[in-house]
Structure 1
Amino acid sequence: MRFERSHTRRAMAVAVVGSLALLASACGGDDGSGGDSGSGGGTALEGRGPINFATGKDTSGNLTNQVNAWNSQHPDEKVTVTELPESADQQRAQMISNAQIKSDAFSVLNLDVVWTAEFAANRWITELPEDQFPDLNKLLPSTIDTAKYRDKLYAVPVTSDGGLLYYRKDLLDKAGVQPPKTWAEMQEACTKVKALPEAKTAGCYAGQFEKYEGLTVNFSEAVNGAGGVVVGDDGKPNVDTPEALEGLNFLVEGFKSGMIPRAAITYQEEPGRRAFQEGNLIFHRNWPYVYALAGKTDGSSKIAGKFGVAALPGKDGPGVSTLGGHNYAISEFAKNKATAADFIKFMSSEERQKANIEKTSQAPTWASLYDDPALNKQFPYLAPLKASIETAKSRPKVVKYGDVTTAIQEAAYGALTGTTPPKDALAGLQTKLSSLITQ
Structure 2
Amino acid sequence: DKLVALPMFLGAPALYYRSDLLEKHGRDVPTTWQEMTETAKAIMEAERAEGNDDMWGFVFQGAAYEGLTCNAQEWIASFGGGRIVENDGTIAINNPKAAEAINLAASWVGDIAPDGVLNYKEEDARGVFQSGNSVFMRNWNYAYALGNGDDSPIKGKFGVSTLPTGGEGMEPAHTLGGWHLGVSKYSENQEEAIELVRFLNNYENQKERAIVTSRPPTLTAVYEDPEVAAEQEFIPLWKPVVDGALPRPSAATKRQYNEVSSEFWTAVHDTMSGKGTAEENLAKLEARLKRLKGANW
Contact 1:310 1:381 in 2 (8 A): no
Contact 1:239–1:426 under 8 Å retained in 2: yes
Q: Give, in angstroms, the shift of residue 201 of structure 1.
A: 4.7
User: Is structure 2 residue 93 aligned with structure 1 residue 239?
Assistant: yes
Counterpart of 2:132 (choices 272, 279, 283) is 279
Q: Identify the residue that residue 68 of structure 1 maps to in structure 2.
A: none
- Judged with a 3 Å threshold, the aligned counterparts in structure 2 of structure 1 residues 171 and 250 are, in CA distance, closer, same or farther, namely same
One-letter amino acid matched to 2:7 = P
- Alpha-carbon distance in 2 for matches of 1:325, 1:156: 11
The counterpart of 1:218, out of the listed 28, 52, 71, is 71
Deviation track 1:163-217 (CA, whole Å, cap 9, x = no partner) reads: 1111101011112222111112212322442325366752111110011111111
**Paired residues for 1:293-312 under 5 Å:** 293-298=146-151, 301-312=152-163
Specify the alignment match of 1:405 in structure 2: 261
| 1:170-319 matches, cutoff 5 A | 170-194=20-44, 195-196=46-47, 197=50, 201-228=54-81, 229-255=83-109, 258-298=111-151, 301-316=152-167, 317-319=170-172
The equivalent residue for 1:66 is none
Q: Which residue of 2 aligns with 1:342?
A: 195
Instruction: Please give the alpha-carbon distance, in whole angstroms, between the structure 2 residues aligned to 1:231 and 1:388.
Output: 22
- Offset of 1:318 from its aligned partner? 4.8
Could you tell me how far apart the structure 1 residues matched to 2:237 and 2:87 are?
Answer: 25
Per the normalisation by structure 1, the TM-score is: 0.62
- Provide, for residues 259-299 of structure 1, a one-character-per-residue CA deviation record: whole Å limited to 9, x for no partner: 2221211110111101001111100000111111111113x
Q: Match of 2:8, SS? A: strand
CA distance in 2 between partners of 1:251 and 1:426 (Å): 14
Corresponding residue number in structure 1 for 2:288: 432
Residues 311 and 318 in structure 1, CA contact (< 8 A), matched pair in contact too: no
**Is the alpha carbon distance of 1:417 and 1:217 closer, same or farther for their aligned partners in structure 2, counting shifts above 3 Å?**
same
Q: Which amino acid aligns with 1:220?
A: Q
Name the residue aligned to 1:169. 19
Structure 1 residue 424, shift from structure 2 partner: 1.4
Aligned CA RMSD, in angstroms, stands at 1.8
CA distance change for structure 1 residues 176 and 165 in 2, over 3 Å: closer, same or farther? same
Q: Which runs of 4+ in 1 moved over 3 A?
A: 198-201
1:200–1:171: structure 2 CA closer, same or farther, 3 Å change rule? farther
Paired with 2:23 and 2:224, the residues of 1 have a C-alpha distance of: 28
CA contact (8 A) 2:210 2:232 kept: no
Aligned to 1:375: 228
Map Cα deviations across residues 26-54 of structure 1 (whole Å, 9 max, x no partner): xxxxxxxxxxxxxxxxxxxxxxxxxxxxx
Residue in 2 aligned with 1:21? none
- Paired residues of 2:271 and 2:281 also in contact (CA < 8 A): yes
CA shift, 1:234, in A, is: 1.0
Partner Cα distance (1:330, 1:307) in 2: 39
C-alpha displacement at 1:159, in angstroms?
A: 1.0
Maintained 8 Å contact 1:357/1:363:
yes
Preserved CA contact (<8 Å) 1:166 1:308: yes
In 2: Cα distance, 1:415 partner to 1:191 partner: 21
The 3-state SS of whatever aligns with 1:205 is strand
Given that 1:183 and 1:313 are in contact with CA atoms closer than 8 Å, whether structure 2 keeps it comes out as: yes
CA–CA separation in structure 1 for the residues paired with 2:97 and 2:272? 17
Please give the alpha-carbon distance, in whole angstroms, between the structure 1 residues aligned to 2:264 and 2:257: 11
SS at match of 2:179: strand
Q: Deviations over 1:371-407 (max 9, x none)?
A: 2222223222224422221121111212122212211
Seen in structure 2, the aligned counterparts of structure 1 residues 172 and 198 have a Cα distance that, compared at 3 Å, is: farther
Q: CA deviation at 1:428?
A: 1.2
Which protein shows a greater Rg?
Answer: 1
Mapped to 1, the partners of 2:55 and 2:165 lie a distance apart of 22
Structure 2 matches for 1:9-28, cutoff 5 A?
none
Letter in 1 for 2:159: G
Question: How many correspondences in the alignment?
Answer: 286
Of all paired residues, the percent bearing the same amino acid is 34
CA contact (8 A) 1:164 1:312 kept: yes
Where 1:400 maps in the other structure, the secondary structure is helix
Q: Which amino acid aligns with 2:95?
A: T
Identify the residue that residue 6 of structure 2 maps to in structure 1. 156
| 8 Å contact kept, 1:310–1:384 | no
Q: Distance in 2 between matches of 1:329 and 1:351?
A: 19
Distance 1:348 1:417 in 2: 41
Residue 89 of structure 1 aligns with which residue? none
Check if 1:414 corresponds to 2:264: no
Gaps of 5+ in 2: none
Is the CA contact 1:164–1:385 (under 8 Å) kept in the aligned structure 2?
no
Matched position secondary structure for 1:330 = coil
1: distance between equivalents of 2:260 and 2:128?
30
In the TM superposition, what are the counterparts of 1:119-158 in structure 2 within 5 Å? 151-158=1-8
Give the TM-score taking structure 2 as reference length.
Answer: 0.90
Aligned equivalents of 2:231 and 2:28: distance in 1?
Answer: 22
Aligned counterparts of 1:198 and 1:294: Cα–Cα separation in 2: 24
